[in-house]
Structure 1
Amino acid sequence: MVSIVVAVGLLLSALALWLATDSAVAVLSYLGAVAVLGGAGWLMLRDKASETIDSIATPDWSVTVTAMDRSDMAIAITDRAGRLTCANATFADNFGITKAPPHIDADQTSLDALMRGSRDAWRDGRADAGTVRAEGEIWAATLERAGRAGDYLIWRFRRQVSPDLTRAAVEAVTGKLGRALDQAGIVSAIVEPDGYIVAASSGFALRATGEPESDMAHQEFVSFLRQDEDDRISYARDGKNGAPITMYYLPIADPDRAGNDAGDSHPSLMLLVDSGIGLGGGSGDLATAVPNLEALLAQLPLGLAMADRDGLLLFANPAFMRAAGRDGEAPPPYPSDLVVQEDKGALSNAVRRFAQGPATSGDVAVRLSIQPEEPVSLNLAGVRGLGNAAVLLGLNDNSEEKRLKRQIAQATKMQAVGQLAGGVAHDFNNVLTAILGICDLMLLRHTPGDSDYDDIQQIRANSNRAASLTRQLLAFSRQQTLRPEVLQLPDVVSEVSQMLKRLIGEKIRLQVTHDRNLGRVRADPSQLEQVIVNLAVNARDAVQAKGEGRGELRIATKRVTAADIRAMRSEIVPAGDYTVLVVSDTGTGIPPDKIGKIFEPFFTTKEQGKGTGLGLSTVYGIVKQSGGFIFADSEMGKGTTFSVYLPVFHESPDAKRRREEADKPAAPQREWAGGGKLLLVEDEDPVRAVAERALSRQGYEVVTASDGEEGLEYVQRGEEFDLIVSDVVMPVMDGPAMARAIREKRPDLPILFMSGYAEEQLRREIDIEDMHFLPKPFSVAQIADKVAKVLGGSKGGNG
């Protein structure tokens, strides 16, 4: 409309100019000048508007920080990607700026609440995340969605200052609440832990001294009371004929900090009521007394409830419902509604018994309906002095304690079984060493075709099978000798894939996938192959047990970063980079009641005679000894997935330099030509005999000893040896103790230890220079080759 008016005015002015001058040139010049001036004005206005829009579109965060600078509230702003775009000084001081909410340093419950609040705020525009506990402080967190497009979340954390409960209680007792309680027949006092009064109501002063305005502060509370021979309490002022009173006491402690203040002493609120008079006043009706009592007990951290003599639940505080697994729900009509069907009658009878008998207390074991497998102890106490008889019920939330107890029991059991398995394997290795050695010596006197040759080979083959079982036991007990290397997990999977195809058969399809940019891991490649093979065999058996005969075995390697681990919020896996091996199948699955036992030795879900129960326990031991973690997820009828987390190996520059120097080709070393004097120390007679014969056949002069003390005596007498070959675990004096004593006299003498325990474990415990290791069981050829290699290295390969 404005543009039309301007155009009409411009035409009229041009017409007037033409009539006045009768010159077309003057009119055209006038119109041209107006057009130039109008265009320049339009450009200036457009640039000004553009600048205004740009200034509005680009947020000035410094202005925002200044605007939200508050000392009583921590404020942060995050974008849709979860990045921290702005925070005030209070937030930075208390939470730092390296982490954006909801991923701040707080307990798990708070983090869960913040995550839910974030989702609600993005959806609804605002949310209340409740109470957040971080760095020993309590905050009230709220969220609000903001921005022109709603692309930001404003997080507000208001510090919750713990109230001075003692001062509040004093004001209540000496104020209107105290006078109201006095009128209801309930007198009150605040008493320090040392027994001296802090403050008292006028009703207590009247009953204790006869003067309602008496100053009761700093006087001993019990001095105003007396106790008779029947343990009845009355006011000292009333003498022997005084009416008995009932006393209740409540510690004045912040329920939100009860866990932190468990060891502290607090003042107590003392409530004194004439016996036979209810808390509601008058003759006392329990229904009248309950609201007052409920208000007093509602905030206590202990789970408390009250039922009448008929078993009707009168009230239950939040802690009681939380302990019963009904957090946030309304109390049921009867306490028996919280337990399993089998325990309902017993609990109802117990409530009636404590309500009708004398004021006693006791416990009854019940199973809650939410966890029927875990009995809990329910405390019951008969309550008198409230008019009608009642029963106070106590129940503590000990679910976390039970979980920790189960974990400790499981860990203790696995450790005990592991120690037993390792000890059995070590002793059995000595037996197998003797059997294999004797077989090797007998085979030297027999050739293929002899009547005994095949029998000896059969004995040797069965002994090797027994040796593989001991290796599995050692793997479970994490005492196996590992040869770790820095490797890529897909290379190990590739090495074993062809064998797996033959192992699982043609009906089961093998699918292998790998992520990119996988980190290297440090592990024993042969042991990792055993892990993959054992998991694949279990998958094959699970698929075949399904009855269809066909299925899939999927093997994948995945890259998991430290951020992914933190997002998992696992209490087991520490934050870091991992390469994960995932083995899944489409088999029968594992029942939920058995999945927690699958890594235990000799536990199997297979039919009798079809499994030793050592496969998964071996896998567990290898993974744990390699510094990794293994988890199993299963769904009946759909299959099972095993996930093996191996930490990514990060090599320091110094370690890399040392490795490169060690990898440089060394000067060629000649083989040991034979000869030399050896001291053989072994407490097992068969093992010592086999080793002595094996070494003597190689031309060594062998001196034997049955324990460490005997071996030390040879050296102390001045005998010269080129090498000490010794067992580790021996009676009286073990191998390491003997070796240290010998080294004091012969510091350059090499020592070769023989043991069924893991080399890494022995090296950590022994820590002796120029120490070599030979794992049991060993063959005649293996001990001869090892001795030659040690002598060749220590003597420089003298021929």
Structure 2
Amino acid sequence: MRPPVLLGGIAGALVLSALLLWLITGQGVVALAFFGGVAALLGVAIVLDRMRPSAERSELEPPDWSVTVAALERDGAAVAIADRANRLVCANATYESWFGNQSAPPGLPLDRKGLEALTRTAREAWRDGKSTARGIVSDDGSHAWNIWAERAGRGEDYLVWRFVAITEEDPTGEMAARITGQLGRLLSRAGIEAALVATDGTVSACAPGFAERATGDATATLAGQDFARLLRTDDQDHIFFAREGRRGNPQTLIHVPLGDPQSARAPGPDECASLMLLIDSTVGMGSGDASAQQATPQLESLLGALPLGLAVTDRDGRFLFANRAFRRAGGIEEGSLPQYPSDLVVREDKTALSDAVRRFGKGPATSGDMAIRLRDMPDDPVSLGIAGVRGLGEVAVLLSLVDSTEENRLKRQVAQATKMQAVGQLAGGVAHDFNNVLTAVIGTCDLMLLRHTPGDSDYDDIQQIRANSNRAAALTRQLLAFSRQQTLRPEVLQLPDVISEVGMLLKRLLGEKIELSVHHDRDLGPVRADPQQLEQVIVNLVVNARDAMLAHGDSGKVSISTRRVTAQDVRKVASEILPEADYTVLVVQDTGGGIPPENLTKIFEPFFTTKELGKGTGLGLSTVYGIVKQSGGFIFADNFPAIGHPEGARFSIYFPVHRGEAPATEKSKPAEPAANWSGGGRILLVEDEDMVRAVAERALSRAGYTVTPCADGEEGLAAVANGGEFDLIVSDVVMPGMDGPAMARQVRKVKPRLPILFMSGYAEEQLRSEIDIEAMHFMPKPFSVQQISDTVAGLLAKYAAK
């Protein structure tokens, strides 16, 4: 409303203007007409002015939301209203109890995925008028909601949010509500009485018809009463309601467990309840009762609501109905149902299944189960439950089948992992025993070569034996690599540097007709691994690719690349095997035709090869697998379609990116040569293998040492305890009775400064926890005469200098 002073000023100006006009023109009529016209316009303006402020106030004054909040109050749903600035305008009590009254969507305490989904929902709702987000989880994972957002308001400048909590399914509670409600009444009218029975045999809930036939009162709950006491049987095992006795019709009892067989957790007491169906003998086709015609549709409705895979057949074994769970477990396409259950199984099981279904359909009402193999999963037998039912007309057999796809997949993975672990332990044990044999063979050859010079008739033969022994030693190293028991010297390095070091060797291995392509990503992270072992991994993969391409022709292409994979990339893949982290990936792929699908799960097993007899050991890829796993990496093999080339195999190796500063590389000092030590020494030699002990004793004695040989740890400990003076103990690690580490700890109590040299066919890392003793040294088997002599000389020189 305009101020009174302003209106008075306007009226005065109007009067003054009229007087001036009369003085100028001298005509009073003109001045009067002017005054009247302007006064009329001023009156209209005042009226409009009075109307406008009221409208503006109604727009500017904040609305009263109390009525809206009262309308939003509803059980089980949270409702909130936010403006375009994402400010909370109002909310009901449920919303405030869940999220408080300070934050408006999407700024709620949700996990990252939920926040992104809620932000997208708000954007779509403002744009399209409405949007939905389902399965949104709180940041602590304790709650989940389905959320709807819809634009509202006179100017559509508000969003109405509605949150509905997602509750865990309770099949037992849902079934209790159904049978005590409309479904139970429908079943009763069709001659089927239903009751929910707990694990202790007491009734939890029942249909009104069941209560009426059992007690005469349709409103009775029967909760806590013994289910079996409500029934009775005659001498022919016919079942009757106890209250009706033989005056009533015989009943067919069907027991349906309600527990979820696929649940990974142990079921609670309420989840083990059972649904008991009592079907009147007069119900079914040909019973003469019009109500019997409704039995099959009602039964289908009931079976369709259950989470178990259930189906029914007639007396001849023809399918009448199968619920969705049964179709999924049996691999039946939606909308189709085979004629017989035997159409679902392999040819060898068809006759047995057909006979079983017909036997249960025409015999007494019994139940059982049998193992079958489905056509879609011929290698994984599953259990099929079969029960004969009576009194349902055409329905004669009830079949139950559980979807075991995921269970079978997990079984195969566990079996494969167990097998690989067992083979790895076997490989490590074989390598240890074989190293003892090779130590004796190589040592004996060295001793013989000391008596034979080049040109002797036996010299070349001994050299050939020694060369083959060294080749066998290389095979044992491959076995140790597969079993992840070899000694690694890890360093922090860049994969491109390792590939560059071995590049010239790869070109010579591939030849001129096979192309080698190398590509590296930028910003690759460093990895921690043994460079020599990585070179062996690359060489083995390239040689394997070369052999595959030569088997399909005389040319091809091998590609080696390195890629950078971030933790975000791993998160998008959602791998169950690969942990979320940053990786540097080495990819080796070829155009050799790929790996047959049936071999993909076997290629990393030791001694598995597709090459001709005598052309492969089958340890190349198993060695690669062992080195990668021992280095903390992951390896995957698959096939890929190469553009312009035949299909090929691809090996992807994921190494975790090393974080932190690179440790200083300790360069191993070469052992002091024997020529630098001439002081002799007293050696206590403890070795349970006679061949190895004999070779080591002869080698050390020939080098000028005084050697006391012992066959086990007890004998070696006795030699020290009886006053023996020694400069060095050379001992095996694994021995029967007292092993090397146990003997060394007892010796140290008497001789605390006596150095010890352990020798073993096992890897140093595997024995580190057992031989973690001060002044301890390690020498792997097999070793030559020169190696043991130089090692002993170096140690004696080292400790003599101290």
Residues 674, 180 of structure 1: alpha-carbon distance in 2 compared, 3 angstrom cutoff? same
User: Shift of residue 350 of structure 1?
Assistant: 3.8
Q: Which residue of 1 is the match for residue 629 of structure 2?
A: 624
**Alignment match, 1:651:** 660
**Counterpart position of 1:558:** 563
2:396 aligns with one of 373, 379, 390: 390
After TM superposition, the structure 1 stretch with the greater mean CA deviation from structure 2, 434-443 or 371-380, is 371-380
Q: Which residue of 2 aligns with 1:407?
A: 413
Structure 2 gaps of 5+ residues are 1-23, 25-81, 97-101, 152-159
- 2:648 matched to which residue of 1? 639
In the alignment, the residues of structure 1 paired with residue 595 and residue 684 of structure 2 have an alpha-carbon distance, to the nearest angstrom, of: 54
Name the CA distance, whole Å, in 1 between partners of 2:170 and 2:476: 65
Aligned to 1:707: 712
The alignment-based identity, stated in percent, is 60
User: Per-residue displacement from partner, 1:714-747 (whole Å, max 9, x unpaired)?
Assistant: 1111222222110111122211221122222223
Which moved further from structure 2: 581-590 or 743-752? 743-752
> In the TM superposition, what whole-angstrom CA distance separates every residue of 1:315-357 from its partner, at most 9, and x where no partner exists?
2222112212347555445434434566555544443333223
Residue in 1 aligned with 2:617? Answer: 612
Q: What do the CA deviations read for 1:624-678 (whole angstroms, capped 9, x no partner)?
A: 11111111112584111111112222237xxx6xx55978999x99965542222
Counterpart of 1:293 in 2: which secondary structure?
helix
Question: Residue 719 of structure 1 corresponds to which residue in structure 2?
Answer: 724
Instruction: State yes or no: 1:64 paired with 2:79.
Output: no
Change (3 A) 1:375 1:174: closer
After TM superposition, the structure 1 = structure 2 runs for residues 151-230 of structure 1, keeping only pairs within 5 Å, are: 158-162=164-168, 172-212=178-218, 216-230=222-236
CA contact (8 A) 1:382 1:392 kept: yes
Distance 1:661 1:380, change over 3 A: closer
What residue in structure 2 maps to residue 481 of structure 1?
Answer: 487
The CA deviation at 1:377 is: 3.0
2:36 alignment counterpart: none
Counterpart contact for 2:189–2:291, Cα < 8 Å: no
Structure-2 separation of matches of 1:650 and 1:270: 62
Aligned-pair CA distance for 1:302: 1.4
SS in 2 for 1:641: strand
Provide the secondary structure at the position in 2 that maps to 1:610: coil
Counterpart in the other structure of 1:302: 308
Partners of 1:767 and 1:588 lie apart in 2 by 49
Q: How does 1:692-771 map to 2 (within 5 A)?
A: 692-771=697-776
- Distance in 1 of aligned mates of 2:511 and 2:709: 52
Superposition pairs for residues 45-194 of structure 1, below 5 Å?
A: 63-64=85-86, 66=88, 92-93=108-109, 95-97=110-112, 101=116, 139=144, 158-162=164-168, 172-194=178-200
Quote the residue 1:541 is aligned against: 547
For residue 769 of structure 1, report the CA deviation from its aligned partner.
Answer: 2.6
CA gap 1:177/1:631 in 2 versus in 1, 3 angstroms? closer
1:69·1:89 contact (CA, 8 Å) conserved in 2? no
| Residues 399-418 of structure 1 deviation map (CA, whole Å, 9 limit, x = unaligned) | 11111111121122222222
Which AA in structure 2 matches 1:647? P
C-alpha distance in 2 between matches for 1:246 and 1:280: 17
Cα–Cα, structure 1 residues 223 and 264, in superposed 2: closer, same or farther, change >3 Å? closer
AA of the residue aligned to 1:710? E
> Which amino acid in structure 1 is aligned with residue 321 of structure 2?
F
The normalised TM-score by structure 2 is 0.78
Structure 2 counterpart of 1:186, which letter? I
Q: Is the 8 A contact 1:186 1:279 kept in 2?
A: no
- Contact 2:307/2:325 (<8 A) preserved: yes
Whether the 8 Å contact between 1:276 and 1:284 is mirrored in structure 2 is no
Asked if 1:574 is matched to 2:572, the reply is no
Matched, 1:675 2:680: yes
Q: Deviations over 1:190-238 (max 9, x none)?
A: 4444444455444334433345556744544433322334433322234
Alpha-carbon deviation of 1:759?
0.7
CA distance in 2, matches of 1:422, 1:103: 55
C-alpha distance 665-739 of structure 1, shift in aligned 2 (>3 A)? closer
CA shift at 1:160, angstroms? 1.4
Provide the rounded CA distance (Å) in 2 between the counterparts of 1:196 and 1:143.
43
Kindly tell me: are residues 743 and 264 of structure 1, through their superposed partners in 2, closer, same or farther at Cα, counting changes over 3 Å?
farther
Counterpart residue identity of residue 356, structure 1: K
Which ranges in structure 1 are unaligned for 5 or more consecutive residues?
Answer: 1-19, 21-59, 75-85, 105-113, 147-153
CA shift, 1:378, in A, is: 2.5
TM-score w.r.t. structure 1 length? 0.78
Where do residues 460-475 of structure 1 align in structure 2 (5 Å cutoff)?
Answer: 460-475=466-481
DSSP 3-state at the match of 1:596: coil
Distance 1:758 1:733 in 2: 20
* Residues 189 and 197, structure 1, Cα contact 8 Å, conserved in 2: yes
1:81-106 C-alpha deviation (Å, 9 max, x unpaired): xxxxx99679854x4348865799xx
Give the 3-state SS of the residue equivalent to 1:262 in structure 2: coil
Residue 781 of structure 1 and its aligned partner are, at CA, apart by: 1.7
Residue 232 of structure 1: aligned partner: 238
Q: Which 10-residue stretch deviates more, 673-682 or 493-502?
A: 673-682
Task: List per-residue Cα deviations over 1:151-194 (Å, max 9, x = no partner).
Answer: xxx99974213477766656655555444443333344444444
Q: 1:600 aligns with which of 599, 605, 615?
A: 605
Match of 1:691 among 696, 710, 713: 696
CA distance in 1, matches of 2:247, 2:209: 20
- Conserved in 1, the CA contact under 8 Å of 2:111 and 2:137? no
Amino acid in structure 1 at the alignment position of 2:511:
G
Q: Could you tell me how far apart the structure 1 residues matched to 2:166 and 2:487 are?
A: 56
In 1: Cα distance, 2:148 partner to 2:706 partner: 84
The amino acid that maps onto 1:453 is: Y
Residue 156 and residue 772 in structure 1: after superposition, are their counterparts in 2 closer, same or farther (change >3 A)?
farther
Deviation at 1:435, TM superposition (A): 1.6
Of 614-623 and 323-332, the range deviating more from structure 2: 323-332
State the AA in 2 paired with 1:540: R
Match of 1:462, SS? helix
CA offsets, 1:137-163, max 9 Å, x none? 6846579999xxxxxxx9997421347
Alpha carbons of structure 1 residues 744 and 102: separation in structure 2 relative to 1, 3 Å: farther
- Partner amino acid for 2:88? T
- Secondary structure of 2:753's counterpart equals coil
1:249 positional shift: 4.6
Aligned to 2:793: 788
Deviation at 1:398, TM superposition (A): 0.9
1:775 has 2:780 as partner:
yes
Judged with a 3 Å threshold, the aligned counterparts in structure 2 of structure 1 residues 469 and 72 are, in CA distance, closer, same or farther, namely farther
Task: Report the equivalent of 1:289.
Answer: 295
8 Å Cα contact 1:141-1:155 kept in structure 2: no
Q: Secondary structure at the match of 1:237?
A: coil
What is the alpha-carbon distance in structure 1 between the residues aligned to residue 475 and residue 564 of structure 2? 33
User: Partner amino acid for 1:323?
Assistant: A
Contact kept in structure 2, 1:313 and 1:332, CA below 8 Å: yes
**Alignment match, 2:425:** 419
Q: Residue 459 of structure 2 corresponds to which residue in structure 1?
A: 453
Distance 2:453 2:473 in 1: 25
